[in-house]
Structure 1
Amino acid sequence: MNGTVAVALITSVSTLTAAGLTGVVSAARHRPLPGWTRRLASGDRALLGGVADAARHFHTRLILPDWSEVEATVAADREGHLDALDGGLPAVLGTLEPFVWRDSVLTAPYPVDHDLRLHGRGRHLLGR
């Protein structure tokens, strides 16, 4: 992790406000959070520096060694989707496993049977 990412991490955490902590509050409803999270949310610079150091260490030891493989995998996946563009939207949607595109309906595995009717509204599909 380069210095820019560490600075971005420190900046983003230190600019959190009470309104921006909804995710933390939501998580706290499901299980007690460690005591240090309150100090982190309040902008404790020493703790924030420790978190940035830990993120840097994690990135250097676990992500960076395999990053070229990640980039190659993403590039190959992107190429596959770009190649599918020649077949139009149905061909592209057909590449989005585990989704199934059939008869103008995109079906997604979901634990509850539910139909979402777009009525002409668009949707963003986020890949893996």
Structure 2
Amino acid sequence: MTAPKGNRGDLFDPGCPTRRLLDRIGTKWTSMAVKVLADADPEEVRFAELQRRMPGVSQKMLSATLQSLTRDGLVARRVEPTVPPKVHYRLTGLGRSLEVPLAALREWAEEHMAEIDQANATARSGDN
């Protein structure tokens, strides 16, 4: 593989690999979908099961999220030609490699979110 275009480490450069990745995976639904699929790995998960395991996600948003992950090579999609079609999803090797960094981010959030919430509450009370 060739190195991605853009200045590595320069988040202000739209071509920066880190910025481009964060633009793709920086949504809550993307990280949740990767988590659900990682928990099921190596098994496949059907669309309805993914939606059940991701409370609050709409069918439209889940579909868009899975299309994006599939397009980026992070998720594989398999369709059974039945009526109605059964669609199955699983992480690719590339998608599995994303689970460790996302798990580290979840761990950081669980450790520090209360501090962030407190800082926000303090800032809001100072605004009054």
Same fold (TM over 0.5): no
* TM norm structure 2: 0.32
Greater strand fraction, Structure 1 or Structure 2? 2
